[in-house]
Amino acid sequence: MRFYLDHAATTSLRPEAGEAWLGAATVLGNASSTHAAGQDARRLLEECRERVAAVLGCDPIEVVFTSGGTESINLALRGLWLSRGGGTSAIVLPDGEHHASMDSVAALVRDGAEVRAVPLDGFGRIRPDVFAAALPGAALATALAANNEVGTVNDSAALSAAAADAGVPFHLDAVAAWGHVPLSFRRLRGDAEAGEGLVAMSIAGHKLGAPVGVGVLVVARSARITASMHGGTQQRGLRAGTQDVAGAAALAVALERTEAEREGEASRLARLRDRLVAGVLREAPGSELLGDPVGRLPGNAHLLFPGAVGESLLFLLDRAGVAASTGSACQAGVAEPSHVVRAMGRDERAARSVLRFTLGRTSDDADVDAVVEAIGEAYARASGARSAGRS
Ligand SMILES: Cc1ncc(COP(=O)(O)O)c(C=O)c1O
């Protein structure tokens, strides 16, 4: 039996989303065709767009279906930067963002953008006052609603308000947070002026029980944004190409179910997570919970194991049937030290000694028990192996 504690990487398909996908995939017709079959597909697609908009708190026309989080973020950051007004080419980029944002910005730097970094505090939080101080005159800003590695939840309302006050267009990466904490695009946007404040928000379907390959970028009607994909006028010209009706149908169901279950799931997962953290701290003396102990995603437990390499722990846990993650990106199969843990002020050794356990819809007490049972021996062996390797 396997115990899956990596729901932040991807979570299982919701059966209802799978059924909706299959049902829509059998509707023949390109949603851009004018014949009756095309119009049937179009009707279904637009109905899904309305349902998605209702859940995300935006207008249907503001929903741009994409292939997932990375594409949404690329479209938002490049698109906003290309449409910037005169003046500065600065992009406000907090430390510890997801690589989809970091690497999109790095590509824009090669095209002449400058980066204004925003340091994190020791819990991995973006402090709204520090963020606000970086904004004046910037071309755009981006931030995580919640950090996907350490689980720290940011104050998205305060960050959006700061961007609106500074007259800067703001993109929110809600991929890790949406469905776990309340996030309404309309409420966060408030009464910001056209093209300022929160103008774009990224969502990925596979984190919420839809299949891999579908996501959303919410783009405010008033946003000034340039397309990256060319070849058609679909979706306000922002995302050319034949539209994925089946993906939209699956996503609509997944978002609706996730939102309907959100509060109940948040308390259920927080209880499981707290039991997991208490058990690990007891069985692996010296381990430490990282990230905000209170303002964190309900299903996220991110722990430091001093003296052990995260990948060795992963390997040993995997042999015990437990699937976890170091949370950080891999280069050629080798985990990099976590840039998030570094941004929280820890040294490189600590940034290589972390594990992330993430719980989701199918998690239960047996998953927690499996981790708690396996972690003591895994930590002893991983830290022993490390000191033996060095001598
Ligand atoms: C916060 C965050 N942003 C962006 C992404 C990228 O999303 P996707 O895997 O759908 O491309 C992820 C995925 O791990 C994420 O956690």
Q: Do 269 and 249 belong together in one domain?
A: no
Query: What's residue 65's pLDDT?
Result: 98
Q: Give the confidence band of 1 by pLDDT, cuts at 50, 70, 90.
A: low
* Domain-ending residue, one of 237, 256, 275: 256
**CATH number of residue 212's parent domain:** 3.40.640.10
Above pLDDT 70, what percent of the chain? 96
Q: Is 252 exposed, middle or buried (0-12, 13-18, 19+ CB in 10 A)?
A: buried
Q: Do 200 and 274 belong together in one domain?
A: no
Question: Which residue, by CA, sits nearest to atom 9 of ligand 1?
Answer: 69
| CB environment 86-121: b (16+ within 10 A), e (fewer) | eeeebbbbbbbbbebbbbbbeebeeeebeebebebe
Mutate to test the pocket of ligand 1, among 67, 74, 98, 206 (most ligand atoms within 8 A of CB): 98
Collapsed DSSP state (helix, strand, coil) of residue 28 = coil
Query: What's residue 333's pLDDT?
Result: 64
Ligand 1 atom having least distance to the Cα of 204: 10
> Does residue 42 line the site of ligand 1, with CB under 6 A?
no
Q: How far apart are CA 358 and CA 322, in angstroms?
A: 12
| Count of Cβ atoms closer than 10 Å to residue 193 Cβ | 9
Query: What's residue 85's pLDDT?
Result: 80
Q: Ligand 1 centroid to 104 CA: how many Å?
A: 13
Torsion angle, CA of 43/48/54/57, rounded to 10 degrees? -110
Q: Do 302 and 333 belong together in one domain?
A: yes
| Count of Cβ atoms closer than 10 Å to residue 231 Cβ | 9
Q: Ligand 1 centroid to 46 CA: how many Å?
A: 25
Q: How far apart are CA 370 and CA 344, in angstroms?
A: 29
Per-residue pLDDT, averaged over 272-278, amounts to 98
Q: Do 45 and 132 belong together in one domain?
A: yes
Q: How far apart are CA 328 and CA 96, in angstroms?
A: 10
Per-residue pLDDT at 388 exceeds 60: no
Query: What's residue 384's pLDDT?
Result: 82
pLDDT (tens digit, 9 = 90+) per residue, 338-361? 999 999 999 999 999 999 999 999
pLDDT (tens digit, 9 = 90+) per residue, 25-57? 998 899 999 999 999 999 999 999 999 999 999
**CATH number of residue 279's parent domain:** 3.90.1150.10
Domain tally for the chain? 2
Q: How far apart are CA 226 and CA 92, in angstroms?
A: 19
Q: Do 198 and 337 belong together in one domain?
A: no
Q: Do 336 and 17 meet the contact criterion of CB atoms below 8 Å apart?
A: no
Average pLDDT, the chain: 95
Q: Do 206 and 332 belong together in one domain?
A: no
Per-residue pLDDT at 391 exceeds 80: no
Q: Do 81 and 60 belong together in one domain?
A: yes
Query: What's residue 378's pLDDT?
Result: 97
Is 330 annotated in the active site? yes
Mutate to test the pocket of ligand 1, among 147, 171, 203, 207 (most ligand atoms within 8 A of CB): 207
Per-residue pLDDT at 127 exceeds 60: yes
Above pLDDT 90, what percent of the chain? 93
Q: Do 267 and 205 belong together in one domain?
A: no
Ligand 1 atom having least distance to the Cα of 73: 4
Q: Ligand 1 centroid to 9 CA: how many Å?
A: 8
Per-residue pLDDT, averaged over 301-327, amounts to 96
Q: Give the confidence band of 233 by pLDDT, cuts at 50, 70, 90.
A: very high
| Count of Cβ atoms closer than 10 Å to residue 271 Cβ | 13
Identify the domain containing residue 107 by its residue range: 15-256
- Residue 302's alpha-carbon distances to 42, 124, 340, in angstroms, are 43, 12, 11
DSSP H or E segment with residue 217? strand 215-219
Collapsed DSSP state (helix, strand, coil) of residue 345 = coil
Q: Give the confidence band of 389 by pLDDT, cuts at 50, 70, 90.
A: very low
Per-residue pLDDT, averaged over 215-224, amounts to 97
> Does residue 148 line the site of ligand 1, with CB under 6 A?
yes
Backbone φ and ψ for 224, nearest 5 degrees, come out as -95, 110
Q: Do 170 and 54 belong together in one domain?
A: yes
pLDDT (tens digit, 9 = 90+) per residue, 69-116? 999 999 999 999 999 987 789 999 999 999 999 999 999 999 999 999
Question: Which residue, by CA, sits nearest to atom 14 of ligand 1?
Answer: 9
Q: Do 199 and 276 belong together in one domain?
A: no
Q: How far apart are CA 182 and CA 205, in angstroms?
A: 17
Q: How far apart are CA 232 and CA 120, in angstroms?
A: 41
Mutate to test the pocket of ligand 1, among 72, 73, 77, 148 (most ligand atoms within 8 A of CB): 148
Comparing 138-152, 318-332, 372-386, the range with the smallest average pLDDT is 318-332
pTM greater than 0.95 (yes/no): yes
Query: What's residue 334's pLDDT?
Result: 67
Per-residue pLDDT at 268 exceeds 50: yes
Q: Give the confidence band of 328 by pLDDT, cuts at 50, 70, 90.
A: confident
Q: Ligand 1 centroid to 319 CA: how many Å?
A: 27
Among residues 108, 187, 111, 181, which one has the least CA distance to residue 142? 108
Angle between helix 245-283 and helix 15-25 axes, rounded to 10 deg: 160
Comparing 79-93, 95-109, 151-165, 207-221, the range with the smallest average pLDDT is 79-93
Q: Give the confidence band of 386 by pLDDT, cuts at 50, 70, 90.
A: very low
Collapsed DSSP state (helix, strand, coil) of residue 229 = strand
Q: Do 38 and 127 belong together in one domain?
A: yes
Q: How far apart are CA 289 and CA 151, in angstroms?
A: 11
Q: Do 247 and 267 belong together in one domain?
A: no
Backbone φ and ψ for 389, nearest 5 degrees, come out as -65, -30
Query: What's residue 387's pLDDT?
Result: 47
> Does residue 98 line the site of ligand 1, with CB under 6 A?
yes
Per-residue pLDDT at 331 exceeds 90: no
Q: Is 388 exposed, middle or buried (0-12, 13-18, 19+ CB in 10 A)?
A: exposed
Q: Ligand 1 centroid to 98 CA: how many Å?
A: 7
Per-residue pLDDT at 21 exceeds 70: yes
Q: Ligand 1 centroid to 322 CA: how many Å?
A: 22
Catalytic residue of the set 22, 37, 61, 330: 330
> Does residue 145 line the site of ligand 1, with CB under 6 A?
no
